[in-house]
Amino acid sequence: MRLTFLGAAGEVTGSCFLVETRAARFLVDCGLFQGNRATEAKNRSHFAFDPRALDFVLLTHAHIDHSGLLPRLVAQGFGGPIFATDATCDLLEVMLADSAHIQERESERGRHTKTRRRVTEKAPLYTVRDAERCLRQLVPVTYDAEVTPRPGVRACFRDAGHILGSAIIEIWVGQGAARRKLVCSGDIGQRLRPLVRDPTAIADADVLLVESTYGNRQHRSWPATLEELRRAVTDTLSRKGGNVIVPSFAVGRTQDLIYLLADLYRKGELPEMDIYVDSPLALKATSITLRHLAVLDADAAKLVRWLKSARGRPRIRFVQDVEESIALHRVKRGAVIISASGMCEAGRIKHHLRHNLGRPECSIIIPGFQAAGTLGRRLVDGAKEVRIFGIPVPVRAQIYTIGGLSAHADQEGLIDWLSRFKRAPRATYIVHGEADISEQFAGAVRARLKWRGVTLPQRGMSVDLP
């Protein structure tokens, strides 16, 4: 069995792993690279394999850095099945269409970008039609039920506790004494968090791929995280009289934030406020979330019932059209505006930041990981001024980085998940993390769990598995 790391190796985004065996040739994930402009070249480069020769794809979850190149894969000849959980398949219907619209819009915008010599023309990375074709190849599976994508290969999707539908994938290849088990963690969530259930413990693996996004740090405790959120919102709305702006991923993080704000309000810990969710994609994702209450934790259903009987409080409005989004720029106080993108690189959030970053009475809450090179990362790193749409904007608003709201486990959470293995895998590969963070996490695994065979792969590296 041969494994090639095609993304999320020495970096966070672009999750993609090629597995080649006598029985099959397949991918685990096929994600978009995200961050600065340099990532565009990676997304546009040729796949390091022939897409037509793939038998199938196994997908851990719907986030674009894990799924966002699937339409391009299909456009270049892949015609096999894409296995994912039921909820992930539902989310992909809106997420891949949205991503394709963005690709087409950026391409159209590029056609009108004049340079000294010519008008720049660049085809979209993929089209809406490509995304629609890709969706027809989805094969939904349920948690904990084994599937056989091809003779000689079995797979089982376990709840990863990251976002709705997220999965840890157990894969068995071969038979008898030659059988090997590969486990791909996907993104591991935090325990005891709202909406999603806790990550599933895995007993064993011959080969393990484990994420390390927050592998070098500890999040604040959950009570301290909620207190920080409560204080940030209350101080901004009640004392300063400004707005709270939250850049948030439309899928997963936004639903968590709606839940937390509503729950804190229900308990009398937050003031009257208007919550605006300025993302058409977030509305669709929230609707899908409500259709899958059976795979969420029990407290989610209780809060949904309370909201239905709460007579419109707190006031939650999903903003759809552009005119209504623009109207929010005139709102100067009392609003919590949740908007995409989560790393502040595109979409409506950039407009809200432009109109609120320079106001000292406002606050920006950063609830998740910000990749190197992004606007969100510059804010987290303490920039005094940023450029938005080419215009310099002073940073006078208070920046809150609330890592405890992340959908990713911290180092302690990851070590806890690994400690539930009954024995160490023969080979463990640390992926989905910036290089220095992955190195620190690998050191923690070696020191605390006494595991050997812990490796940090680089993009393009191939290994023959034991």
CATH number for position 61: 3.60.15.10
134 and 230 co-located in one domain = no
In 3D space, the residue among 158, 145, 171 whose CA is nearest the CA of residue 21 turns out to be 171
91 and 113 co-located in one domain = yes
Give the integer Cα–Cα distance in Å for 10 and 296: 32
pTM of the model: 0.90
Taking each helix axis as running N to C, give the angle between helix 128-135 and helix 86-111, from 0 to 180 degrees, rounded to the nearest 10. Answer: 170
In 3D space, the residue among 41, 51, 12, 237 whose CA is nearest the CA of residue 134 turns out to be 51
Query: Do residues 48 and 18 make contact, with C-beta atoms less than 8 angstroms apart?
Result: yes
199 and 330 co-located in one domain = no
Q: Name the domain boundary from 354, 377, 405.
A: 405
Q: What is the CB-side half-sphere exposure of residue 27 using CA atoms within 13 A?
A: 30
Q: Name the domain boundary from 405, 431, 447.
A: 405
Q: What is the largest CA-CA distance in the chain?
A: 68
Structurally, the chain folds into a number of domains equal to 2
DSSP 53-111: G--EEE-----HHHHTTHHHHHHTT--S-EEEEHHHHHHHHHHHHHHHHHHHHHHHHHH
Kindly give the confidence (pLDDT) of every residue in the chain, 466 residues in length, as a single tens digit, with 9 standing for 90 and above.
Answer: 999 999 999 999 999 999 999 999 999 999 999 877 778 889 999 999 999 999 999 999 999 999 999 999 999 999 999 999 999 999 999 999 999 998 888 777 665 544 444 444 578 999 999 999 999 999 999 999 999 999 999 999 999 999 999 999 999 998 887 899 999 999 999 998 888 999 999 999 999 999 999 999 999 999 999 999 999 999 999 999 999 999 998 888 899 999 999 999 999 999 999 999 999 899 999 999 988 988 888 787 778 778 777 666 788 999 989 999 999 999 999 999 999 888 898 889 999 999 999 999 999 999 988 888 889 999 999 999 999 999 999 999 999 999 889 999 999 999 999 999 999 999 999 999 999 999 999 999 999 999 999 999 999 999 998 7
Query: Do residues 247 and 376 make contact, with C-beta atoms less than 8 angstroms apart?
Result: yes
pLDDT score recorded for residue 109 = 67
With the C-alpha atoms ordered 184, 189, 192, 195, is the resulting torsion angle positive or negative?
A: negative
- Mark residue 189 as left, alpha or beta (left: phi above 0; alpha: psi -120 to 50; beta: remaining): beta
pLDDT score recorded for residue 116 = 44
213 and 262 co-located in one domain = no
350 and 424 co-located in one domain = no
Q: Residue ranges of the alpha helices (H) in 292-395? A: 298-308, 322-327, 349-356, 375-380
Residue 83 structural domain: 2-217+407-464
Q: Name the domain boundary from 405, 434, 451.
A: 405
419 and 454 co-located in one domain = yes
Decide the pairing of beta strands 25-28 and 16-20. Answer: antiparallel
pLDDT score recorded for residue 166 = 97
69 and 195 co-located in one domain = yes
199 and 229 co-located in one domain = no
43 and 17 co-located in one domain = yes
194 and 261 co-located in one domain = no
Query: Do residues 62 and 94 make contact, with C-beta atoms less than 8 angstroms apart?
Result: no
pLDDT score recorded for residue 290 = 87
Placement of tokens 């940030």 in the chain: 232
60 and 27 co-located in one domain = yes
382 and 238 co-located in one domain = yes
pLDDT score recorded for residue 118 = 46
Sheet (strand 427-431) strand order: 146-150, 153-159, 167-173, 180-184, 207-211, 427-431, 454-455
| CATH code of the domain covering residue 302 | 3.40.50.10890
